[in-house]
Amino acid sequence: MSGAFLVALYLFTLAVFLGLDVIRKVPPTLHGTLAIGMGAVAALVVAVALPAASASTSRMTQLCSYVAVVVATAGVVAGLLRAHRSVRGGHRR
């Protein structure tokens, strides 16, 4: 098992506990916005898809990485935009 894997495993485990605590009370008007925003954040996998698309040499890998880049980027952009639009009608203070 490589060091990078173990470090990532550490971080993942701690992040799960943090994530359970970050969201505790949410007013009902923000349920939708928050869910959409989280969908965008979950597409951060684009950060590993981008180098994969550039580094891959075989056709199959390249195709799959491309799909991953396009889908994940669309998820980030559309998710942030939709969350922004849904919160825009909200409070002005």
Contacts (CB under 8 A) with other proteins, residues 18-77? 18-20, 22-58, 60-77
How many CA atoms does the CB half-sphere of 74 hold within 13 Å?
6
For residue 58, give the DSSP letter.
S
Total residues at the site for other proteins (CB under 8 A)?
88
Minimum distance from residue 88 beta carbon to other proteins (Å):
8
Minimum distance from residue 32 beta carbon to other proteins (Å):
5
Minimum distance from residue 56 beta carbon to other proteins (Å):
6
Using CA atoms, how far residue 87 sits from 18, 47, 74, in Å, is 25, 26, 20
SS3 percent helix, strand, coil of the chain, rounded to 5, is 85, 0, 15
Minimum distance from residue 7 beta carbon to other proteins (Å):
6
Angle at CA 76, nearest 5°, toward 73 and 81?
Answer: 125
